[in-house]
Amino acid sequence: MRVLANHRITRFDAWARAAGPGKSRFPEVFDTLPKFRILAFAFAAMMLLPTGIAAGQDDQPSSTQNQPITIQPLSTAQPAETPLATSGLPQVLEARVSSTADRARLVVDLSQQSEFALVSLSEPNRIAVDVRAERQKAVDQVEPAAPSGEGLIADYSVQQLGSERVRTTLELSQPAQVQQAYVLEAFDDQPARLVVDIIPATPEVFAANVERDLQQASSTEQPTPAVETVPGGSNIAAQSRPLIVIDPGHGGIDSGAEADNGVKEKDIVLDFALKLQDILLESGRFDVALTRQDDTYLRLEQRVMLARQNRADMFISIHADSFQQPEIRGASVYTRDENATDVLDKVLADQENKADVIAGLAAPHMAPQVVDILVDLLRREMRVQSYLAAQSIVHQLEPSVELRRFPVRQADFFVLQAPDVPSVLIELGFLSNNQDAANLMQGEWRDRTANAIARGISTYFDDARTATQMADTAQ
């Protein structure tokens, strides 16, 4: 399942070609803040900025020119009589709920993918799930239904709100919160589906969620930001699942390092990136995009901006380098720092940063975008988060692969400079070392290593989610 990555890359390639060498269409940092809320102060900063209605993953064919549209704010009005669905909007085909004491799941079958939003309500305690859609049939009243099983959800109902919103209301038997929500593309005989997972919450957390949603609802009178769209596809807004952008280093005329047997770094890291993408997608927890999926060349700046343009929640650059001392071996994970951990780290960073020079395109210097204290805070926070991500990945790699001494390292890698995306660079090993080179060419070793990295990514986001919930509770 690489349709999402294909779509995102196609959009970026067209955008980059349109800009041309030496021109800049890069969005300002305020337009590319990461959507995944990591710590309370970062979330508070991002709440100052316009965001779109939450949406599931976009798996529709791409277009080189995305036409913006405006989505009206979600209504909280009472349901009105609605005619049969004739407007071409997505249709809600069916909604069903399964519930236990510690978990519940809502599944909404859709005729096509669509945006959705989640709202916590009190008196009585409820979670409302609004989808931009119509009912498949005319509905002018609430339709109650009983969930399968007993537990978090006492009952639920489906109703039309206005002409473009269908609301599924989950009546809670105890305080609860949304654990995750996402849209699955249609496949085989299965329609597109919105999936919402609910877990128990403390009364304090639920009350905080209600207050947050009330405040957001009170601000919907302001102009709603434009949302990207593609012909024949659903609108693209903030993703429900974290987006991981994987960057296979080098490509095209830039081969990177080379083993004694002629195997090139660009080929090894591309194969590895595709494998890691598959593992992450199969987990169902992440959306994934690759900066390249074939032997093409991308400037270093384009790699960084692809992550920023798509509002990635993590950027991972994959490399397998070489050094003049063949005895040096082992994997390591880098975060960005102007002061390298040691001389070797500085040499490796210098080698990677020369990629554009090798291709005949010197990477332009990106002027600092620290225009106020908000951006400065984000830069600091992203460095902290990058370091935490590196630690999490190394912790999972330790039992599986040979690591360098002090495997979490720092160097001034150009591709790690995004001020608003946690970014790490993974050196899988050294092609100049015979043992590392042999490992890198073994499918079993690549499988084991990719699975370890995927576990590290999952652990990082689990820890970040826990920290966010604790911060919310403390507010």
Domain that holds residue 141: 77-227
- The residues that bridge with 436 in the sheet, in sequence order, are none
Distance separating alpha carbons of residues 401 and 428, to the nearest angstrom: 9
62 vs 253, more confident: 253
Write out pLDDT tens, residues 313-337: 999 999 998 888 899 999 999 988 7
Assigned domain for 383 exists: yes
For residue 467, what pLDDT is reported? Answer: 65
Are residues 15 and 88 located together in one domain of the fold? no
At 14, the pLDDT band (50, 70, 90 cuts) reads very low
Instruction: For CA atoms 361, 363, 365, 369, give the dihedral sign.
Output: positive
For residue 225, is pLDDT > 80? Answer: no
Q: For residue 445, what is the domain's CATH number?
A: 3.40.630.40
Assigned domain for 245 exists: yes
Write out pLDDT tens, residues 428-469: 999 999 999 999 999 999 999 999 999 999 989 988 777 666
Residue 332: name the closest of 411, 406, 257, 416 by CA: 406
Assigned domain for 401 exists: yes
Are residues 223 and 288 located together in one domain of the fold? no
Q: What is the mean pLDDT of residues 385-403?
A: 89
SS3 content of the chain, % helix, strand, coil (to 5): 30, 25, 40
Assigned domain for 381 exists: yes
Distance separating alpha carbons of residues 462 and 34, to the nearest angstrom: 17
Residue whose tokens read 């990082």: 460
Distance separating alpha carbons of residues 105 and 151, to the nearest angstrom: 11
- The residues that bridge with 236 in the sheet, in sequence order, are 228
Name the DSSP class of 284.
T
3-state DSSP assignment of residue 131: strand
Of 178, 204, 227, which residue is a domain's last?
227
For residue 305, what pLDDT is reported? Answer: 83
Q: Is 65 exposed, middle or buried (0-12, 13-18, 19+ CB in 10 A)?
A: exposed
Are residues 200 and 260 located together in one domain of the fold? no
- The residues that bridge with 425 in the sheet, in sequence order, are 317, 334
Q: What is the mean pLDDT of residues 60-69?
A: 30
For residue 235, is pLDDT > 80? Answer: no
For residue 440, what pLDDT is reported? Answer: 94
For residue 30, what pLDDT is reported? Answer: 36
Are residues 247 and 358 located together in one domain of the fold? yes
Are residues 333 and 399 located together in one domain of the fold? yes
Distance separating alpha carbons of residues 169 and 128, to the nearest angstrom: 4
Q: What is the mean pLDDT of residues 420-426?
A: 89
Tokens of 388: 């935490």
Distance separating alpha carbons of residues 397 and 388, to the nearest angstrom: 14
What count of other Cβ atoms lies within 10 Å of the Cβ of residue 73? 15
Are residues 211 and 293 located together in one domain of the fold? no
At 33, the pLDDT band (50, 70, 90 cuts) reads very low
- The alpha helices in 107-247, defined as continuous H runs, are 203-218
- Please say whether the beta carbons of 413 and 316 come within 8 A: no
Residue 302: name the closest of 34, 13, 4, 33 by CA: 13
Range in 145-159, 183-197, 362-376 with the lowest mean pLDDT: 362-376
For residue 471, what pLDDT is reported? Answer: 58
For residue 274, what pLDDT is reported? Answer: 95
Assigned domain for 152 exists: yes
Of 227, 251, 279, which residue is a domain's last?
227
Residue 22: name the closest of 368, 364, 365 by CA: 364
Are residues 123 and 222 located together in one domain of the fold? yes
- Please say whether the beta carbons of 80 and 252 come within 8 A: no
Are residues 16 and 96 located together in one domain of the fold? no
For residue 339, what pLDDT is reported? Answer: 52
Assigned domain for 364 exists: yes
Distance separating alpha carbons of residues 401 and 217, to the nearest angstrom: 50
For residue 150, is pLDDT > 90? Answer: no
Tell me the one-letter amino acid at 61. P
Rg, the chain, Cα only: 23
For residue 244, what pLDDT is reported? Answer: 94
Distance separating alpha carbons of residues 107 and 128, to the nearest angstrom: 13
369 vs 67, more confident: 369
Are residues 223 and 242 located together in one domain of the fold? no
Peptide bond into 124 cis (omega under 30): yes
Distance separating alpha carbons of residues 378 and 45, to the nearest angstrom: 9
Give 297-341 as a DSSP string: ---HHHHHHHHHHTT-SEEEEEEEE--S-TT---EEEEEE-SS-S
Distance separating alpha carbons of residues 277 and 289, to the nearest angstrom: 8
What average pLDDT does the chain have?
Answer: 71
Q: What is the dihedral of CA 136, 141, 146, 151, to 10 degrees?
A: 110
For residue 25, is pLDDT > 50? Answer: no
343 vs 15, more confident: 343
Write out pLDDT tens, residues 105-135: 898 999 998 899 999 998 899 999 999 998 8
Residue 398: what are its φ and ψ, rounded to 5°?
-50, -45
- The residues that bridge with 70 in the sheet, in sequence order, are 226
Distance separating alpha carbons of residues 333 and 351, to the nearest angstrom: 16
Distance separating alpha carbons of residues 263 and 343, to the nearest angstrom: 26
Assigned domain for 163 exists: yes
Name the DSSP class of 414.
G
At 375, the pLDDT band (50, 70, 90 cuts) reads low
Q: What is the mean pLDDT of residues 412-433?
A: 85
Q: Is 358 exposed, middle or buried (0-12, 13-18, 19+ CB in 10 A)?
A: middle
Are residues 273 and 196 located together in one domain of the fold? no
Assigned domain for 362 exists: yes
Q: How many domains does the chain have?
A: 2
- The alpha helices in 369-442, defined as continuous H runs, are 373-397, 434-440
Are residues 223 and 247 located together in one domain of the fold? no
% of the chain beyond a pLDDT of 70: 62
Residue 202: name the closest of 174, 221, 225 by CA: 174
Are residues 377 and 271 located together in one domain of the fold? yes
Q: For residue 200, what is the domain's CATH number?
A: 2.60.40.3500
262 contacts: CB under 8 Å, gap ≥ 6:
none
Write out pLDDT tens, residues 249-279: 999 999 999 999 899 999 999 999 999 999 9
At 183, the pLDDT band (50, 70, 90 cuts) reads confident
Tell me the one-letter amino acid at 230. V
Of 227, 253, 278, which residue is a domain's last?
227
Q: What is the mean pLDDT of residues 238-249?
A: 81
Residue 372, H or E segment: none
Q: What is the pTM of this model?
A: 0.48
